[in-house]
Structure 1
Amino acid sequence: MEALVGELEALKIRRRAFSLTRRTDAQMPMAAPVRGAKSGPPVRRRKAEGAPPAPSLPKRSERDQQELELKSLLAEVGPRRSALTSRLGGISEAALLARFRAAGLEREFALRERDLIRALYSRHRWREALVAEDLALPMARLRAVISERGLSAELDRLLDRIRREERGQKWPRQRIAQVLYRRDQLRELGLLEELEGEVAARTRVLWTKVRARPQPLDELRKALQLTTSDAVKLRELLDLR
């Protein structure tokens, strides 16, 4: 290194050489081609390649397409036979079930239909007329579907539970409210005659005690913890005189 510096000093270009080596790229002189010099071989530039085309999806089979359509329809309207047959052009129930079977959805439809029937019987507290109306099915057809789906014994157990709950209502207000305002439901449960007889017997015992008093209806109302309107309805129902 010292020999190099000495040589640069002798040539009186040391400072010039040092200044050149300390410059930035921006300060360095731009390279220029030498005239007459042969150029190298031409450079072949690669063309910019775009993204590869997306692979085409395999075409669905007719069965897969039918399965997709039925699943979508089932999610929209639920396992309601009347609504499904209507949406599919008014086909018969047999044709509807055949379509679900062909698409491999027979089991799914059956399970969902069972769940729906259970839920409706529980919601309507076993009032079959309301369940049939909700499903838009005639009563006879509803019972046939229940038998077909193997729900008869399960719904009978539900009926027994609801009957126990209705029989367990407290006297006097809850029991009298049942007989006054839920007669149709009690009739469908097969309890109307039983519970109305209980209310009539217990009320008439009280009525015989207060009938001779100045305001017998008010006395009866207080004894049974009723509103005036309910006391009037009860008197009319039982024909108390």
Structure 2
Amino acid sequence: MFYRYQEWKDRLHNFNDHIILDISLCLTLRNLLQVHTSVNRAVEFLQLTTGIEFPPPETILHAYLQFEALTDHEYKYSCPTCGDYPPVVIMGVHKQTASPLSGNDIEKPPGNFKGEVNLEEFWESLSKEMISRGFVANGRHDLFAVPPSYHFWAPWIGKNTRHSDTVLNTEFEKVTEERLREELFKQKDDVIQSLCHECAVESTGSRSDLLLRLSDEMKSRSATGGWGVIMCPCGIVYSLKCSFQAESHRDFADLLLS
């Protein structure tokens, strides 16, 4: 018989039978994240304050996320002033969380995929993955892992704001950097020179030189992914979307239409 200690009444959260967090520490990490202090910084602070070496910050983060995945949250993603459907919204992108994945790392959608994803099923699957990290030994395959894919990757929109649990994610229809490069190489010399001027890129040299400079400029500007956010003027977040590719109007259109 296997017994796993998990008694929250003792104010302890057991991550993997080796790392056990005090509940007050979990709540402290939550509050620090809400004031834009990362778990890495929090662990560094605790080590400097106590003089005790902590587990790696990534492990502490996984333990904290498991705690949150097991917690029933009451946050409604809705502003008491602006209501469930604010007449004015502010849209922005948080690029510091840009994805390290390339287009080749992401599973392609099936041919009949129309850009509709069940939000509740997706986020429930992510919660299960966070919980399972405490049960799966390092190096072993996690049956609950959620691989990046266009057809099972959903934004989060508050329950009272979204039309239904089925939301849009049409990111697979974005024009990729590879496609842009292919189109660039098809252009005539005068068009390429004009693009160099518009992008403030040196326009002297051979056609190959210009194409190489434009490709480098395109790569430097096209940060991969990030968090798309929609909030009301009061600063209350209504929806979040994690993108694989550089942000575009399509990301926010998906959120607004959902």
Which structure carries more helix by proportion? Answer: 1
Class of the TM-score when normalised by the shorter of the 2 chains: under 0.3
Which structure carries more strand by proportion? Answer: 2
Greater RCO, CA 8 A, separation 6+ = 2
